[in-house]
């Protein structure tokens, strides 16, 4: 049997072979349970997918390049290059300062790299000038003055020739026709950082010298991806800060987002073909419970999902990628693979939120009032009539009670989705443009089904009571009411 299972898994996995896959966590990226689950799922997937798994460090380097050294280390490197300049070793010093500038280009806006960038550029201009490369030296000064036209050097620390070269570039840039760059952020209000310098808050309109710039947004702890703009004519740069700022800045891959669309967008931005979204779905006060959802990125389709305890992550991985292995006790799996298409929006596909997994928790009390009936009769019935009355009465009474309990359970399970819908409304009660319509449809369907079942159940139970009232036998007392815990409907009495 085990051999057969291995063969089934191998054949099923072949359907996913060669697909570049990204594993992304979603939710609170400071949650230790979630971070551990992402890493463990990533490790398990690496053994299954091998080279088809896109490593988190590679994904982050692609969307969010980072400096390999700290700002203090880069500062010391610039100081070393300055010492080489004073010692006449311009070639060696130029190598160091160029390497420092490369690191500064990758530095996060949170590091406030502009001041050190200016110092490195001025040092680079001096060395290039000493090496008889005046055009390259002018370009180094130009990178400073195009963002800070009022920049000046201290005449006590620099020779007249360097001061003159800087002023010449300043006059040149004053004559250059500027180009408009508009930076639009969604949502607005983020700080606009260009080449490491803070220039205002988005939306922001700037008149800049034509050239290549690195643009990023900073909003509290959230940082956008760096955007390289070759500005030759008027441009408008729109940055989805809600998505880019939600992507964690270091491994494991994680997005601070309620909807899976952010994780799918991240996978799409690095040419991923499928993505697994991992979440910690445990409710407050309950033990950890991890869900995984597999999406086909290009078609914006959800393939399958399941939920397990953290120690079952390997089983979860095998199920998501093959759909065949049986999960161990405690796992919650959709009865059939779900393939749901979702409209794709530019850059950010809007996908439905993964349904809340079924977690062991108390069931909410059924919103049905207790049905109480007292029936008595002194008339004598034939044995046949008593049998018919009993069969019909018991069937409708207990059948109705079962329908009420079923409807109450369905309504309670849908509580998480109803909470998400309520949170999606703004102050006026309307939904935002990115609202998950399939989620609302699912909530409506859940509500209609649950109340329909409870309504039919109450009617059937009352019919059973009326059966005993209209066709009495021996004195009977029937009581149907919720239990104290609210988890079921208790029926008691004598017939």
Residue 426: the pLDDT is 59
State pLDDT tens for residues 258-267: 889 999 999 9
Q: Provide the pLDDT for residue 488.
A: 41
Work out the average pLDDT over 263-288: 88
CA distance 458 to 371: 8
What contacts 318, CB < 8 A, 6 or more positions away?
9, 48, 324, 325
Q: How confident is the model at residue 377 (pLDDT cuts 50, 70, 90)?
A: very low
The pLDDT-based confidence of 230 (bands split at 50, 70, 90) is: very high
CB of 84 closer than 8 Å to CB of 96: yes
What is the spatial distance between Cα 393 and Cα 465, in angstroms, rounded to a whole number? 7
The whole-angstrom separation of Cα 7 and Cα 436 is 39
Beta-ladder partners of 459: none
pTM metric for this prediction: 0.62
DSSP β-ladder status, 235-240 and 179-186: parallel
- Per-residue pLDDT, averaged over 120-124, amounts to 97
Cβ contact 324:306 at 8 Å? no
pLDDT over 90 (residue 94): yes
385 confidence band (pLDDT: 50, 70, 90): low
Alpha-carbon Rg of the chain, whole angstroms?
A: 34
- pLDDT score of 341: 40
pLDDT digits (tens, 9 = 90+) for 47-60: 889 899 999 999 99
Residues 6+ apart with CB under 8 A from 55: none
Query: Percentage of residues in the chain with pLDDT exceeding 90?
Result: 54
Q: What tens digit of pLDDT does each residue of 137-155 get?
A: 999 999 999 999 999 999 9
Q: Is the pLDDT of residue 166 over 50?
A: yes
The residues, ordered by sequence, that sit 6+ positions from 333 with a Cβ below 8 Å of its Cβ are: 304, 306, 307, 319, 327
Q: What is the 3-state secondary structure (H, E, C) of the chain?
A: CHHHHHHHHHHHHHCCCCCCEEEEEECCCCCHHHHHHHHHHHHHHHHHHHHHECCHHHHHHHHCCCCCCCHHHHHHHHHHHHHHHHCCCHHHHHHHHHHHHHHHHHCCHHHCCHHHHHHHHHHHHHHHHHCCCHHHHHHHHHHHHCCCCCCCCCCCCCCHHHHHHHHHHHHHHHHCCCEEEEEEEECCCCEEEECCEEEEECCEEEEECCEEEEEEEEECCEECCCEEEEECCCEEEEEEHHHHCCECCCCCCEECCCCCHHHHHHHHHCCCCEEEEEEECCCCCCCCCEEEEEEECCCCEEEEEEEECHHHHHHHHHHHHHCCCCCCCCCEECCCCCCEECCCCCCCCCCCCCCCCCCCCCCCCCCCCCEEEEECCCCCCCHHHHHHHHHHHHHHHHHHHHHHHHHHHHHHHCHHHHHHHHHHECCCCCECCCCCHHHHHHHHHHHHHHHHHHHHHHHHHHHHHHHHHHCCCCCEEEEEEECCCCCCEEEEEEC
Q: Which of 3-17, 36-50, 311-325 has the lowest mean pLDDT?
A: 3-17
| CA–CA distance, 165 with 85 (Å, rounded to integer) | 18
In this structure, the chain runs to a length of: 495
Least confident of 73-77, 162-166, 181-185, 390-394: 390-394
pLDDT at 368: 33
CA 34 to chain centre: 12
**In 10 A of CB 373, how many CB atoms?**
18
**Is the model more confident about 398 or about 245?**
245
- What is the average pLDDT score of the chain? 79
Report phi then psi at 265, rounded to 5: -65, -40
Positive or negative torsion for Cα 8, 10, 16, 22? positive
252 prior amide bond cis, ω within 30: yes
Average pLDDT over residues 406-430: 70
pLDDT of residue 487: 41
The pair of three-digit structure tokens given for residue 31, joined into one six-digit string: 């949650």
Q: What is the pLDDT of residues 174-188, one digit of tens each?
A: 999 999 999 999 999
Question: Can you tell me the distance from the alpha carbon of 394 to that of 495, in angstroms, rounded to the nearest whole number?
Answer: 10
User: 17 versus 130: which is more confidently predicted?
Assistant: 130
Residue 40 CA: distances (Å) to CA of 24, 28, 286, 422, 435: 12, 17, 21, 33, 32
pLDDT for the residue 396: 73
Distances (CA, A) of 108 to 113, 223, 401: 8, 8, 62
Residue 441: per-residue pLDDT: 72
Q: How confident is the model at residue 72 (pLDDT cuts 50, 70, 90)?
A: very high
**What's the pLDDT at 415?**
75
The pLDDT score that the predictor gives to residue 375 is 31
Q: Token match 């009232």: residue?
A: 469
Considering only CA atoms, which of 337, 355, 379, 362 is closest in space to residue 445?
355
Q: What's the mean pLDDT in 376-399?
A: 56
Q: What is the pLDDT of residues 315-366, one digit of tens each?
A: 999 999 988 766 665 566 554 344 344 333 334 333 333 334 333 333 333 3
Domains of the chain and any CATH numbers: 2-53+249-341 (3.40.50.800), 71-174 (1.25.40.10), 179-244 (2.60.40.1120), 371-494 (no CATH)
CA 69 – CA 100 distance, rounded (Å): 9
Among 47-61, 176-190, 268-282, 442-456, where is mean pLDDT lowest? 442-456
Q: If pLDDT is split at 50, 70 and 90, which confidence band does 472 have? A: low
Partners of 236 in the β-ladder: 182
* Whether the predicted pLDDT of 245 surpasses 70: yes
**pLDDT of 453:** 76
Question: What is the reported pLDDT for 326?
Answer: 64
Distance CA 369, CA 479 (A): 12
10 Å Cβ neighbour count for 21?
21
Question: What pLDDT sits at residue 494?
Answer: 40
- Residue 448 vs residue 197, higher pLDDT: 197
Which one, of 32, 35, 487, lies nearest residue 253 by Cα?
35
């Amino acid at each position: 049997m085990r051999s057969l299972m291995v063969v089934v898994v191998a054949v099923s996995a072949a359907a996913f072979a060669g697909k570049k896959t990204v594993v992304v966590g979603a939710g609170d990226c400071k949650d230790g349970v979630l971070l551990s689950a992402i890493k463990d799922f990533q490790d398990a997937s690496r053994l299954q997918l091998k080279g088809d798994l896109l490593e988190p460090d590679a994904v982050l380097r692609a969307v969010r390049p980072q400096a390999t050294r700290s700002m203090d280390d880069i500062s010391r490197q610039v100081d070393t290059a300055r010492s080489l300049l004073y010692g006449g070793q311009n070639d060696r010093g130029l190598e160091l300062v160029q390497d420092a500038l490369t690191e500064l280009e990758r530095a996060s806006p949170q590091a406030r790299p502009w001041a050190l960038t200016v110092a490195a550029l001025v040092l680079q201009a001096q060395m290039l000038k000493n090496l008889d490369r005046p055009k390259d030296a002018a370009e180094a000064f130009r990178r400073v003055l195009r963002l800070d036209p009022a920049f000046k050097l201290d005449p006590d620390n620099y020779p007249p020739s360097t001061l003159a070269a800087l002023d010449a570039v300043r006059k040149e840039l004053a004559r250059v026709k500027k180009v408009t760059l508009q930076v639009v952020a969604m949502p607005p209000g983020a700080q606009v950082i260009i080449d490491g310098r803070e220039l205002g808050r988005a939306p922001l309109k700037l008149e800049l010298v034509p050239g290549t710039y690195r643009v990023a947004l900073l909003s509290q702890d959230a940082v956008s991806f760096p955007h390289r703009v070759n500005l030759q004519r008027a441009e408008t740069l729109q940055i989805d800060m809600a998505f880019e700022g939600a992507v964690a800045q270091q491994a494991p891959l994680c997005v601070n987002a309620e909807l899976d669309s952010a994780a799918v967008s991240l996978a799409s931005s690095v040419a991923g073909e499928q993505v697994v979204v991992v979440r910690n779905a445990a409710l407050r006060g309950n033990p950890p419970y991890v869900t995984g959802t597999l999406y086909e990125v290009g078609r914006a389709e959800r393939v399958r999902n399941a939920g397990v305890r953290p120690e079952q992550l390997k089983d979860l991985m095998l199920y998501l990628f093959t759909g065949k292995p049986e999960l161990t006790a405690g796992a919650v799996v959709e009865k059939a693979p779900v393939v749901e298409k979702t409209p794709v929006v530019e850059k950010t596909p809007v996908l439905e939120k993964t349904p809340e997994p079924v977690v062991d928790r108390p069931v909410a009390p059924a919103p049905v009032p207790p049905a109480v009936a007292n029936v008595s009769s002194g008339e004598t019935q034939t044995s046949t009539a008593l049998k018919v009355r009993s069969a019909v009465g018991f069937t409708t009474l207990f059948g109705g009670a079962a329908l009420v309990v079923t409807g109450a359970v369905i309504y309670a399970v849908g509580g998480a989705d109803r909470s998400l819908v309520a949170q999606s409304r703004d102050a006026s009660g309307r939904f935002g443009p990115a609202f998950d319509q399939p989620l609302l449809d699912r909530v409506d369907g859940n509500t209609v089904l649950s109340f329909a079942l409870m309504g039919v159940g109450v009617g059937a139970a009352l019919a059973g009571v009326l059966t005993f009232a209209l066709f009495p036998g021996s004195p009977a007392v029937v009581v149907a009411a919720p239990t104290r815990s609210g988890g079921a409907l208790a029926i008691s009495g004598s017939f």
